[in-house]
Each structure stands twice: as C-alpha cells, then as structure tokens.
Amino acid sequence: MTRARDPTGPAILGNRVELQLLTTLRCNLKCSYCSLGVGEVLGSQRKVTYTLDQLDAFIAKHLAGHEIYVTFYGGEPTLNLDLMTAVMRRHPRFRFQLQTNGTLLERLPDWVLGRLSNILVSIDGGEEVTDGYRGRGIYRRVLKNVNAIRARAGGTLTARVTWSSADTSFAELDQLRQDFDYIYFQFVAQQGAYTPEATKKKRAVIAQLVREFFRADALYPFIPIMGTVRNKVLPSLAMELYAGMTQCRASTHILNVMPDGKIYPCPDLMYLPEMLQGDVVGNWLKRSPLQPHPDMPCERCDAFAYCRRNCMKNLHLAYVRGDADYRKHVVEPICDLVRALGEEVDRHDPHAWFARMPLSVREQVAGCAVYDYVEVMP
C-alpha cells in the first residue's frame, strides 16, 4: 500500500536540499523536444525579478540546517552569468552545479569553472541525432567547448542524454566516454517516441551497454546502470536515501525557483498552477504536491525495488491527472524499458560483480556524487 506523507511534516525531507535556480527562461537553442515548451513556459520570464536579499531571507527561514547545493538551470543559465556569479560569491560554502546546453561554456570565468562540482551538458547521442534536435553544428561545438574547459573544471563533466531517437546507437553513447566523466541518459517523455520498432532498438542498445558495464575492468560510467546496480546490491541504501518513498527528488528535496521567485517541485510542470509549492518573494514554502498516490501502480511492479517511482511527473500526469493517452504512449513504454534495464543487470549477477570489484569502483557505485544531481534511473 502506498504510504502517504504526513501533510503537517517538514517541506524538505532529509538533510539535503537542491535549490535549482532558473536564471532565465531564455535559451539560445530551440530543441524540438524541450519540456519547457509545454504551456509556453520557455521564454516567458527573461529576467530574475526577486532580489538576492529576498533569496537569502527565504534560505534563512526555510532551509536553515540543511546542506544546500545549487543547480543553475534554465532556459540556458549562462545567459544570466551575473546572477550565477553573484549567488556563488554570496554563498561560498554551497555546492554548485550547472546544467547547460554547452554552447556558451567559454563565457565562464576560471574561478566559476573551478567552483562547479558538476557540469551537466545536454547532448543527444551522436552528431546526426544531436544536430537534428538542436541545430546544425551544435554537436561539434559542444564537444569543442567541453574539451576547452576540461583542464579548468574543478568538478566532473557529465553528459546528459535525452534519449529521443530510435537511431541512437551503442557506439554513439559509448563514444561520449571520451569527452565526459559520466554519462546519464533519460528516456524522452514524448509521444511518438515509443513505437514497437523504436522500443525494440532501445532495448537492444540497453543490453549492449549493460554487457559492457559488467565486462569492463574499470568503472563503465553510465549513471543509470550504476544506479540500478546500487539499488539492487545495496537496497537498504536506496531506502535510507529516499525514506522508502520515491527516488524522484521532486517529492522530497528539490526546489525549482522560477525567475519571478515562484517555486515548483518539477521544472516540467511549472505550467500547472496546482504545482505551486512556494515563493521566494512571499517567503513561504510547503511540501511538494508531487507525492506517491494510491492510483500509482508502482508498488505492484517488479521494478519497484530499484526504480522507486523514479519520475513523479510522469506518474502524476498518467495516473493522478488520468491522461490515458500519455500513460499508454509514454509512461508505460518507459516503465517497460526500466524493467528491461533491471532484467539485463540481473543476467550478469550484480552481487557477484560488486563483490569482486576493487574498492574504488564499489565506492563510486555506492555513493557517486553525480547521483545528487540526476534522477539516477532513466
């Protein structure tokens, strides 16, 4: 039975909180699948209208006692570099991450690059696929920028792949290891992306990635595979991290702050008024409205032990708002692929693999810092 969260309890679950600051809703690209395009969110707020003093007052009132890490998000966050640098100077003890399309990385001063714990760079696989979604020449431009800043980056560089195309190959994803420390892929939440043939191709690539993960002598740095292995081999750790509820940070400890100061649990649902969770200007915060719900079928699913309701947005739209078409053509196919990932991992006896790997690999699988910044499951 789904456990309801105490409505009188704290707004933030756990000791950490991710403050995701949308520095602007402007973007210099127009990716065809962008989730912020829903409800005409993208481009609607070009400038931040709250003050840093108001942000500080909000932090002092609602986030005191928590470990705070900030993700700069957008739009394209580097279009408002002034806000990024001002926040970083005001709060030198915070951790910082940047999620970017990678086209403007050359704008970042060395001291900013040195303070970022992780740079999450959006890329869609290979050159043809990436340029098809993002514009001609973007793939090469992004990789050129990534390699230009690598020596000056203080933290890790992670490829964030929105896996949209059925033509994305194992070789294209594997190649990203040459330019990034980690690769995180997420299945696109888009109707039309999961025809039977497309799903078959994606399952085949998943199987290849998992085989390579268990065959490699060193860590094969694909976050969704690492996370699946962790949750299978160390299930108590997954339970502790998410209080036995959901692996999706939108339920527990992420605050998406819009440029006008309004706060939402998920950046993909900012077009829904009922998702409003707080306000920096009004200095109020309540618990996330994205919570496990009895209509969600997750606890009856074979993958629940390691997936743990990984995307609350998808579950909310499909089962709480009752969008049957979205459920059939997006959520159910994605859930099938997550189950396929778990089945492939099981074929390679992850417990035995974990036991024989060196301590350095086991520590990364158990507690990779990049887990803090992504949803772990795809």
The distance from CA 259 to its chain's CA centroid, rounded to whole angstroms, is: 20
Q: Which amino acid is at 366?
A: A
Q: For tokens 């990024």, name the residue.
A: 84
pLDDT at 167: 92
280-319 burial code (b ≥16 CB/10 A, e <16)? beeeebebbbbbbeeebebeeeebeebbbbbbbbbbbbbb
Closest CA to 50 of 278, 319, 321: 278
CATH architecture of 16-373: Alpha-Beta Barrel (3.20)
Distance CA 21, CA 85 (A): 12
Which pTM value belongs to this model? 0.93
pLDDT tens digit at each of 378 positions of the chain:
454 445 557 899 888 899 999 999 988 776 665 555 444 555 567 799 999 999 999 999 999 999 999 999 999 999 999 999 999 999 999 999 999 999 999 999 999 999 999 999 999 989 998 888 888 999 999 999 999 999 999 999 999 999 999 999 999 999 999 999 999 999 999 999 999 999 999 999 999 999 999 999 899 999 999 999 999 999 887 776 666 667 888 999 999 999 999 999 999 999 899 999 999 999 999 999 999 999 999 999 999 988 888 899 999 999 999 999 999 999 999 999 999 999 999 999 999 999 999 999 999 999 999 998 887 777
Cis link prior to 135 (omega < 30° from 0)? no
pLDDT at 318: 96
pLDDT digits (tens, 9 = 90+) for 321-368: 999 999 999 999 999 999 999 999 999 999 999 999 999 999 999 999
